[in-house]
Amino acid sequence: MHCIYQETSFLMPNTGQGNADVWHKQIIDLMTDGKNQEGIQYLFKKDFSQQLPESALIKLRAATLPDALRPTEKRVEFACGADIKLKLRLCTTRRKKQVVSGKEKTVESFISPSDEGFVDFLSAMLSNNGFELKEIISTSELVVEPIKKTKGGRSFVPWCDVHFTATVNNEESASVAYIKGIGRKKVFGTGMLEVISE
């Protein structure tokens, strides 16, 4: 099954470093021509370089992107039973319900790539999205990025980059995951899968 999508890459000034919400708002502005409309389906990933510390390289992906962003149409093929090498910027937030002072609350925690349960966590994420994990090739260190919201309060986006081999077990789910992403907090720059070329 061919997964067809649009993608673009560009440099942005590194004004949002240390605040994931600033990056989110800047990307929304680009996607909506400054109208700041929420609810748009897209993925983005930002990377920094020591050679260009004042800039961030942004990769932006969606089923369709605005023409002003000069997107390129791309495709990737997912075939049931095929093994594929991928990398993923994975949000490692876990949520579970707990009873606190007699009331049920949803409590967030996060898992690190060095934790014993990380393989199971990644495996469950992939299995919900059309893939079966075969092998983890490498992981980056955990990054915990703050989200400073304008109305006060603060939360965090914990993420790591994972390189792995997986088997496609549902072509349609894999295609949707490639365009819409995997995991939580995708609007803050996580969830993007990328095929690793041989």
What is the model's pLDDT at position 38? 64
What is the predicted pLDDT for the residue at 120?
Answer: 95
Q: Judge contact between 167 and 83, C-beta under 8 A.
A: yes
| Contact yes or no for 131/166 (Cβ under 8 A) | yes
**Helix, strand or coil for residue 144?**
strand
Distances (CA, A) of 76 to 101, 119, 134, 143: 50, 25, 20, 29
Token couple for 141 = 């260190």
Number of other residues whose CB lies within 10 A of the CB of residue 84: 19
What pLDDT tens digit does each residue of the chain (198 aa) get? 899 999 999 988 887 556 777 888 888 888 887 676 666 788 999 988 778 778 888 999 999 999 999 999 999 999 999 999 999 999 999 877 777 788 888 777 889 999 999 999 999 999 999 999 999 999 999 998 887 765 656 688 899 999 999 999 999 999 999 999 999 999 889 999 999 986
Confidence at residue 56, expressed as pLDDT on a 0 to 100 scale: 87
CATH of domain 80-195: 3.30.70.1210
The residues near 114 (Cβ < 8 Å, ≥ 6 apart) are: 142
Q: Check: CB of residue 178 under 8 Å from CB of residue 49.
A: no
pLDDT value for 100: 76
The confidence score (pLDDT) of residue 53 equals 78
Question: Going by DSSP bridges, is the β-strand pair 143-148/131-139 parallel, antiparallel, or unpaired?
Answer: unpaired
Q: Read off the amino acid at residue 143.
A: V
Q: Rounded to the nearest 10 degrees, how much is the dihedral formed by the CA atoms of 56, 185, 26, 40?
A: 130
- Cβ-contact 123, 141 below 8 angstroms: no
- As a whole number of angstroms, the distance between CA 1 and CA 7 comes to 19
Longest dimension (CA), the chain: 54
Exposed/middle/buried for residue 19 (C-beta within 10 Å: 0-12, 13-18, 19+) = middle
pLDDT the model gives residue 51: 81
In the chain, domain spans: 2-75, 80-195
